[in-house]
Amino acid sequence: MADISKIKVDGDRLWRSHMDLAKIGALPGGGCCRLALSDEDREARDLFAGWCADAGCRMEVDRAGNMFATRPGSRDAPPVASGSHLDTQPHGGRFDGIYGVMAALEIIRTLNDHGIETALPVAAVNWTNEEGARFPAGILGSSAYAGKWTLKDLHSLKASDGPLFGDELKRIGYDGSLDLGDFAMSAFFEAHIEQGPVLERENLPVGIVTKVQGLRWYEVTVDGADRHAGTTPMDARKDSLVAAARMIVELEAIGLAHRPDARVTVGRLDVSPNSGSTIPGRTVFNIDLRHPETAVLDRIESEIEELCRKSAAHVRRVIDMPPVDFDAGCLADLERSAGGQAIAHRHMLSGALHDASPVSTMAPAAMIFVPCRDGISHNEAEWAEPEHLEAGCNVLLHAMLARAGVV
Amino acid sequence: MADISKIKVDGDRLWRSHMDLAKIGALPGGGCCRLALSDEDREARDLFAGWCADAGCRMEVDRAGNMFATRPGSRDAPPVASGSHLDTQPHGGRFDGIYGVMAALEIIRTLNDHGIETALPVAAVNWTNEEGARFPAGILGSSAYAGKWTLKDLHSLKASDGPLFGDELKRIGYDGSLDLGDFAMSAFFEAHIEQGPVLERENLPVGIVTKVQGLRWYEVTVDGADRHAGTTPMDARKDSLVAAARMIVELEAIGLAHRPDARVTVGRLDVSPNSGSTIPGRTVFNIDLRHPETAVLDRIESEIEELCRKSAAHVRRVIDMPPVDFDAGCLADLERSAGGQAIAHRHMLSGALHDASPVSTMAPAAMIFVPCRDGISHNEAEWAEPEHLEAGCNVLLHAMLARAGVV
């Protein structure tokens, strides 16, 4: 057997797998549309399942449609798992999520190439509906796995195009028999493109993600009064959009005041009745707040509440995901792997949520990032360099090998 | 024959006609949905046509579906006409537009009751698609009548639900044979609810409308860059919504600076991609600007352009309707009629556009307003008091009689 510490993944094969998957739901601009539990998602799942079978894995599917492909180890113990998601945004790219699943598969193929037997099994995972684009919650499959959803609530979720989650699971043939959370893992690693500018700016191929920012969402409703734009004097108006506009300007100032780590974003805003000649009677918008520290999230939340009070707006917190600190042992494995291969890297935060966040409540977990061009993601122009994908996969390979143990 | 100067319209009959029409396309909240050239619009047209036939009128329909019901006079000359529109907003009321058509019909019925022969004929008019709710331009039929649309462009307009204007006209049986503009009028009067708060605030039953404000619409596009809300630092963003919000706050200040006559409204705003976790890459909004003076419209326009320049936003003027001064002779007739009947009234501007604006380029024209509760319109809660409708109709009656001449 070759010196195991020297083995590498096959970067060309890893790249080809990305490109083969990208044909499913391909868009004219080079991106993909593979909404969760759509026909395109089924096709991608089938392709992935076929690859896993070819690699000698046993496939299990749970009641959320999460897919677990296990390469046996010498011991009958929970596997060291890795993965992410194959679903995309409506105008998504070829790497977001895909990379994590393909990297896990590439590691299994590499172990096969070298005839390596691990002590613990190794598994590749595809989590359902990470994007939250078709069903109304992101990191859905991994959250369900981590016990955040009852089966009934999960299966009753309605797709943006109408059908229910449970019905769509059955329709595409991925309503598995494994109960939620029953697939035990010794550890979970997730590889993902950064979706931000940090690694590219510093010309680093890999980031080791120590922490995921906390996330809170607020729904703000500003009420005014629908009136005719031509007949209602300027000083006799209750214009909900003007009031919302003032708040949005102040929210940016709040975000800037908590630099560099705070993120305060109004990404969604709906004006009603949204007619050119009517003063808007109601404006509803969403605030996305992120920070790595719970204490600072609390402080900014109270500033948001004060702003809403002053503005006579109604505010409601609709999502609260606490910050996640990844497992020190998993991080040490990643650090040693990158160091041992002299792959340049840094520690960093994740600004986005990933499947590893909920999974970290079920097993020791950590993540790595690789750069993506201009930080662009959720966009057809999303791009990652083959050599970065390969470097990240090699970091993952030796961290997982260390964790799984070689017989 | 009775003393003609003493005759009055039948307020109860006028009210019953409103209530009968309101059954067509009735909504649960008391309003109506009668979109132009829909089945409901056809039903309303048929009911109106039947009433006109019962009143001894000859009906003519033009290529825009505008309906002209003429009660003959002793002279073969262009009639003194009055009317408005029977179509409504999707959640419209029972009075907006309807009143003008029902008032014209009530005047014809009143002339019949008293066996009055006029020198000039008298006509009741229903203009097509005043609301611009189903086909993408308001005051459409009256503008087509006034030569602002070619027949080809008019018939090619696409409804919000798909079909073409020309096809829908044929489908409902109102593609008339009269060429656009061929129905000559000696004068045109339009009665309408105010859709604003002025008359109610001053407790006046009637306003004589001397002028319609000029209207300009601008489409403003603010470009930024779609980025992930969690990964993009506050000071590395190009947030199109924050930029638009600053502009909206400044636009309100511009409107206030030109009090009391200026109206500056952002009624429509669309954020893209409008996703909670994405910094909005593009925000497009509409500015509705109104003022009675062209010179002030020009001044405010240059302030808007300067604001867009400073904000690196793209601005395009998409509508330009100059202010309209109504005909002095028609106004004098209305004034004498109201004074002669001791009906309290004031002169006022119209903040909204009405069919009388384009028609005023074809014939001497003027308008009257009656109050509506809380100034509410384009809303199921729209309400006008029966006695105000009656008073307005009496003002209209004697102005039209004066204009038409009694034999």
Per the CB < 8 Å rule, is B378 touching A226?
A: yes
Please report how the helices A39-54 and A11-21 are oriented relative to each other, as an axis angle in degrees rounded to 10: 150
Contacts of A232 in chain B (CB under 8 A): 196-197, 263, 351, 375
CB atoms within 10 A of CB A75: 14
Burial of B123 (0-12, 13-18, 19+ CB in 10 A): buried
Mean pLDDT of B78-100: 96
What pLDDT score does A203 carry?
96
Q: How far is A70 from chain B (nearest CA, A)?
A: 32
Q: How far is A118 from chain B (nearest CA, A)?
A: 36
B230: nearest Cα among A198, A148, A245: A198
Residues 75-134 of B with CB under 8 A from A: none
SS3 string, chain A, reads CCCHHHCCCCHHHHHHHHHHHCCCCECCCCCECCCCCCHHHHHHHHHHHHHHHHCCCEEEEECCCCEEEEECCCCCCCCEEEEECCCCCCCECCCCCHHHHHHHHHHHHHHHHCCCCECCCEEEEECCCCCCCCCCCCCHHHHHHCCCCCHHHHHHCECCCCCEHHHHHHHCCCCCCECCCCCCCCEEEEEEECCCCHHHHCCCCEEEEEEECEEEEEEEEEECCCEECCCCCHHHCCCHHHHHHHHHHHHHHHHHHCCCCCEEEEEEEEEECCCCCEECCEEEEEEEEEECCHHHHHHHHHHHHHHHHHCCCEEEEEEEECCEECCHHHHHHHHHHHHHCCCCEEEEEECCCCCHHHHCCCCCEEEEEECCHHHCCCCCCCCCCHHHHHHHHHHHHHHHHHHHCEC
Residues 26-85 of A with CB under 8 A from B: none
Q: Does B217 touch chain A (CB under 8 A)?
A: yes
pTM for the predicted model, two decimal places: 0.81
Per the CB < 8 Å rule, is A277 touching B269?
A: no
Residue B2 has pLDDT above 70, yes or no: no
- pLDDT tens digits, B206-260: 999 999 999 999 999 999 998 889 988 899 899 999 999 999 999 999 999 999 9
Contacts of A260 in chain B (CB under 8 A): 233-235
Residue in B with minimal Cα distance to A280: B267
The dotted CATH code for A4-213+323-404 is 3.40.630.10
Burial of B367 (0-12, 13-18, 19+ CB in 10 A): buried
Per the CB < 8 Å rule, is A234 touching B242?
A: no
- pLDDT tens digits, B262-271: 999 999 999 9
- pLDDT tens digits, B137-164: 889 999 999 999 999 999 999 998 899 9
User: How far apart, in whole angstroms, are the C-alpha atoms of residue A252 and residue A263?
Assistant: 9
Q: Among residues of chain B, what percentage have pLDDT more than 70? A: 100
Residue B1 has pLDDT above 60, yes or no: no
Structure-block tokens of residue B333: 């007739």
Contacts of B252 in chain A (CB under 8 A): 234, 239, 242
- pLDDT tens digits, A133-189: 899 888 999 999 999 999 999 999 999 889 999 999 999 999 999 999 999 999 999
CB atoms within 10 A of CB B53: 12
N-term to C-term CA, chain A = 12
Q: What is the fold, at CATH topology level, of the domain defined by A214-321? A: Alpha-Beta Plaits (3.30.70)
Q: How far is A133 from chain B (nearest CA, A)?
A: 9
B369: nearest Cα among B353, B394, B348, B387: B348
Per the CB < 8 Å rule, is B242 touching A229?
A: no
**At a CB cut-off of 8 Å and minimum separation 6, what does A326 contact?**
A209, A210, A211, A212, A356, A360, A365, A366, A367
State which CATH number among 3.10.450.50, 3.20.20.30, 3.40.630.10, 3.10.20.30 fits the domain covering B4-213+324-404.
Answer: 3.40.630.10
Q: Are B215 and B321 in contact (CB under 8 A)?
A: yes
Residue A9 half-sphere exposure, CB side, CA atoms within 13 Å?
31
Q: How far is A109 from chain B (nearest CA, A)?
A: 32
A360: nearest Cα among A324, A388, A308, A392: A324
Per the CB < 8 Å rule, is B234 touching A264?
A: yes
| Candidates B231, B245, B280; nearest CB to A194 | B231
What pLDDT score does B136 carry?
81
What pLDDT score does A1 carry?
52
| Domain ranges, ordered by start, for chain B | 4-213+324-404, 214-321
What pLDDT score does A224 carry?
96
Q: Does A264 touch chain B (CB under 8 A)?
A: yes
Q: Are B315 and B246 in contact (CB under 8 A)?
A: no
What pLDDT score does A227 carry?
86
ipTM score = 0.81
Q: How far is A67 from chain B (nearest CA, A)?
A: 26
| Candidates B267, B269, B276; nearest CB to A277 | B267
Contacts of B278 in chain A (CB under 8 A): 267, 378
| Candidates A228, A271, A379; nearest CB to B268 | A271
Per the CB < 8 Å rule, is A351 touching B227?
A: no
Q: Does B259 touch chain A (CB under 8 A)?
A: yes
Q: Does B263 touch chain A (CB under 8 A)?
A: yes
Low-confidence ranges of chain A (pLDDT < 70): 1-2
| Candidates A196, A236, A239; nearest CB to B232 | A196
How many Cβ pairs closer than 8 A exist between chain A and B?
200
Contacts of B219 in chain A (CB under 8 A): none
Q: Which residue has the tokens 């909004």?
A: B285
Tell me if residue B384 falls in helix, strand or coil.
Answer: coil
What pLDDT score does A75 carry?
96
Contacts of A259 in chain B (CB under 8 A): 233-235
The model's confidence at residue B133, banded by pLDDT at 50, 70 and 90, is confident
